[in-house]
């Protein structure tokens, strides 16, 4: 009989605890505990996504320089190219 308890006991406890967690989650959702929980994160995201104009210019210049460098030093057929 003790062998059955070793398997069934922990399973029963885990099932009851899982059901309790689901009940608490449903109660929190229905009572409005999660209402407006993401406002702070959305405000932070909006302020971080404001990119200054000078930084966009730096990105554009670096991109153009990268294209020039790639074509000048890495373009062509590769090592041993003529010219």
* Position 52 in a domain: yes
Domains in the chain, number: 1
Q: Could you give the angle at the alpha carbon of 11 between the alpha carbons of 9 and 17, nearest 5°?
A: 105
* Position 15 in a domain: no
* Position 27 in a domain: no
Q: Count the alpha carbons within 13 Å of 31 in the hemisphere toward its beta carbon.
A: 7
Each residue's pLDDT, cut to its tens digit, for the chain (83 residues) gives 555 667 778 888 999 999 999 999 999 999 988 888 888 888 888 888 888 899 999 999 999 998 888 888 776 655 655 55
Distances (CA, A) of 66 to 15, 31, 61: 58, 55, 8
Per the structure, the complete domain to which residue 66 belongs is given by: 42-74
**28 neighbors 34 (Cβ within 8 angstroms):** yes
């Amino acid at each position: 009989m003790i062998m059955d308890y070793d398997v069934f006991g922990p399973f029963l406890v885990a099932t009851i605890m899982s059901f309790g967690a689901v009940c608490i989650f449903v109660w929190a959702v229905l009572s409005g505990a999660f209402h407006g929980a993401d406002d702070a994160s959305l405000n932070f995201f909006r302020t971080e996504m404001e990119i200054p104009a000078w930084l966009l210019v730096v990105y554009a210049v670096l991109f153009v320089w990268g294209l020039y460098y790639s074509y000048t030093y890495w373009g062509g057929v590769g090592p041993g190219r003529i010219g």
